[in-house]
Chains A and B, each alone.
Chain A
């Protein structure tokens, strides 16, 4: 897939926090119905990459194209309205609002070519949420909050979702659930960029991987190639070790 045809194309991305340069020329693409995994240790720059894509951080350099539009430096709400969804690592559900209200905040108009998400459909995808729809989000467990964060973003009918470490800190059962939901999204034709430290989780879901180290993309290829590449695995194996 080339930068011209991909749903999301990132070229030469550099982002700073104040004077500290965090990203040094990240580049990758992601197509519809594709799962691209950003692998990397804690502090590698995965979250910073995602925040730069959604517009919460302004890249100092590089180009981001989404659905044929240059979104480099655009405001977050404009980017989100083009159909780029973002599920942050810290989940950031609105604690004082109920589950149903949280979903409503994410609501956007249906997008041509995609079956619109409704609360009813999302409650089927995440049955735990259905039972808790009137509960305050702040009172839910970590796993439920993660589901809510994803469901809330889906209410915007995104073409592509940035998922920042959705498996972090969750029980194996919930992680299974999460994996199934992500595969269901993929089957709908939604593109997914998944930040992960958990190599096993990534290998089950991902089509391609981009390994990030100290803010640079140091390896890119299919997950099958990563599985076959012992040297690379050796070098990046630490990312697969659960902490």
Chain B
């Protein structure tokens, strides 16, 4: 009997997990299908669902009916919030480039974190569990929570309801048609705004359901937004963006894989999911049940070329550089430490910009290369007892080599799928750093990565960082102005045309990917020595997003963008952090305002302004 339990319990656990994944991912995939917006804030909606659900259900009678009412009310509230989000924000950015939409939704993520914390506090909120919620059933000699059986039953039920909605109602048919070709739907007389708002409301309600159903087993907590959205992204990408059956299938696959994986390879569960995602994307670039991307209407506008900086800007840049080089003479150690971080951030952002702007390959996982560089330096110190120059050499080498290896898979994809595969890889690297405790120290990291004596003081290290970061950033710029840079942009703008004139497009993109990874690795190596330690958080999604924010804040289309963006972001971050406890709210709002006001980023906006005021 124990034998059946050994199979049955993980099976049921996997199904319950799959159900939870499906509720959240179905909303995300439906929203993406129609609006083409990758909604980073979907996890925040789930989190809001959990918190709203907690508040409601705690006040309702502790009966199954009370719970059900609370869940339904939460879904209604979330639907309203979703509709508000669509009307207030996303509607204004549908015509903006994909990445700006992403940036806007990430602004929402930041704001939601502070709003939730402000409303509900920092403590995890667990539901008081009445007996019916605590009950177990005994199956094959093992116990299984009865509530999870309810969750499992809801999976096919919700799927069926959604399926009926999408096939049996005109609204659902309109959604499916708009998922294929929204322009054509409009040309047939359908008001897309209503459709988009309602789809967002539905997606948000599903996210809310997912959040409420997490309550009995876990608790409402402030970290669930990013963990949930990462899981949901994986499901949606594995299933195929915009495909509801795909999301169901992928939820099952991943839920079961996790449940059985934890028995077979307990220490690699985190990586396992992302390995599956990487394998699926390599074999089926559009996911299990996805279609090749349809029309996206627009987006094909000509992008600015890289021109030599105007003389004024050059002189200004030179002046700033001289000032930066002299800074240690009049700045204190704290300011120099901040300056060092800014320089490293600049190199990190410039490396991402290199592949994202001219390369056209946006990455959600750029922190992977930064982290590999940092760990390479740390290993150099601890395993090889290598001097700092060698450690700093190994950082870009290790990151660049890994990027070259992995890039072979990445450059076959494009757009959101490419971004997701980079995210998957970063999560794998993160999982290794986190779970391979013997080698990496896990969560405790590796300490004692100190710089050589000649660079040990804040001044010395600042100058070292300045030299390497400026050389790295300018080096990337020089490469972009060279024939290689032209070929790279040619490949981005029209792959077919570039191939037709004989450019080895894949090799060019791979080289750019590896180069970008190497520079991020150098930034990581510098950071390791600057901090004296290395942690898995260097590879976290949050850190990748930092890089994205810096590049997008500065502007993708301008060369000075990443520099301005990195300085503005680190500066803003430091100022906000010390000025207000609600820094995420302010930063998120600032990002949203910026996206709405200057979709070209700070440097892009400045460039436009400059072109307008400059005498013709």
List chain A positions with a Cβ less than 8 A from chain B: 18-19, 54-56, 75-77, 80-81, 86, 88, 92, 94-97, 101-102, 104-108, 152-153, 156
Q: Is B170 an interface residue when CB atoms closer than 8 A count as contact?
A: yes
Q: Is the pair A18, B187 in contact by a Cβ cutoff of 8 Å?
A: no
Give the CA-CA distance A76 to B186 in the complex, in Å: 6
Contact with A along B141-185 (1 / 0, CB 8 A): 000000000000000000000000000001001101100110111
Residues of B within 8 A of A101 (CB): 173, 176-177
- Could you say which of A19, A77, A107 has the most chain B C-beta atoms within 10 Å of its C-beta? A77
Q: Is the pair A75, B186 in contact by a Cβ cutoff of 8 Å?
A: yes
Q: Is the pair A76, B180 in contact by a Cβ cutoff of 8 Å?
A: no
Give the CA-CA distance A55 to B191 in the complex, in Å: 13
- Could you say which of B180, B189, B192, B291 has the most chain A C-beta atoms within 10 Å of its C-beta? B189
Q: Is the interface of B mostly helix, strand, loop or mixed?
A: helix
Q: Is B479 an interface residue when CB atoms closer than 8 A count as contact?
A: no
Measured CB to CB, the nearest residue on chain B to A105 is B177
Q: Is B135 an interface residue when CB atoms closer than 8 A count as contact?
A: no
Residues of B within 8 A of A153 (CB): 188
Q: Is the pair A92, B181 in contact by a Cβ cutoff of 8 Å?
A: yes
Contact of B189 among A19, A95, A96, A156 (CB under 8 A): A156
Given contacts A77-B188, A88-B187, A92-B184, 4 further A-B contacts (CB under 8 A): A18-B302, A77-B186, A95-B180, A105-B188
Q: Is the pair B187, A76 in contact by a Cβ cutoff of 8 Å?
A: yes
Q: Is B123 an interface residue when CB atoms closer than 8 A count as contact?
A: no
- Could you say which of B184, B192, B301 has the most chain A C-beta atoms within 10 Å of its C-beta? B184
Q: Is the pair A105, B190 in contact by a Cβ cutoff of 8 Å?
A: yes
Q: Assuming A18-B301, A86-B187, A104-B170, is B180 touching A77 (CB within 8 A)?
A: no
Q: Is the pair A80, B301 in contact by a Cβ cutoff of 8 Å?
A: no
Which of the four size classes fits the interface of chain B? 20 to 34
**Nearest CB on A from B615, distance (A):** 21
Q: Is the pair A108, B177 in contact by a Cβ cutoff of 8 Å?
A: no
Residues of A within 8 A of B188 (CB): 77, 80, 105-106, 152-153, 156
**Nearest CB on B from A24, distance (A):** 21
Q: Is the pair A94, B180 in contact by a Cβ cutoff of 8 Å?
A: yes
Give the CA-CA distance A96 to B33 in the complex, in Å: 13
Measured CB to CB, the nearest residue on chain A to B180 is A94
**Nearest CB on B from A42, distance (A):** 19
Residues of B within 8 A of A104 (CB): 170, 173
Give the CA-CA distance A153 to B301 in the complex, in Å: 29
Give the CA-CA distance A74 to B180 in the complex, in Å: 23
Give the CA-CA distance A100 to B200 in the complex, in Å: 27
Residues of B within 8 A of A92 (CB): 181, 184, 295
Give the CA-CA distance A105 to B171 in the complex, in Å: 9
Contact with A along B258-278 (1 / 0, CB 8 A): 000000000000000000000
Give the CA-CA distance A77 to B295 in the complex, in Å: 18
Measured CB to CB, the nearest residue on chain B to A83 is B189
Give the CA-CA distance A55 to B302 in the complex, in Å: 22
Residues of A within 8 A of B183 (CB): 56, 76
Measured CB to CB, the nearest residue on chain A to B301 is A18
A-B contact pairs, 5 of them (CB 8 A): A18-B301, A56-B183, A81-B189, A86-B187, A101-B173
Give the CA-CA distance A94 to B188 in the complex, in Å: 12
**Nearest CB on A from B200, distance (A):** 18
A-B residue pairs, 7 tightest by C-beta = A80-B189, A76-B186, A94-B177, A92-B184, A81-B189, A76-B187, A105-B177
Measured CB to CB, the nearest residue on chain B to A76 is B186
**Nearest CB on A from B606, distance (A):** 22
Residues of A within 8 A of B173 (CB): 97, 101, 104-105
Give the CA-CA distance A54 to B186 in the complex, in Å: 10
Measured CB to CB, the nearest residue on chain A to B170 is A104
Q: Assuming A101-B173, A104-B170, is B180 touching A96 (CB within 8 A)?
A: yes
Q: Is the pair A94, B170 in contact by a Cβ cutoff of 8 Å?
A: no
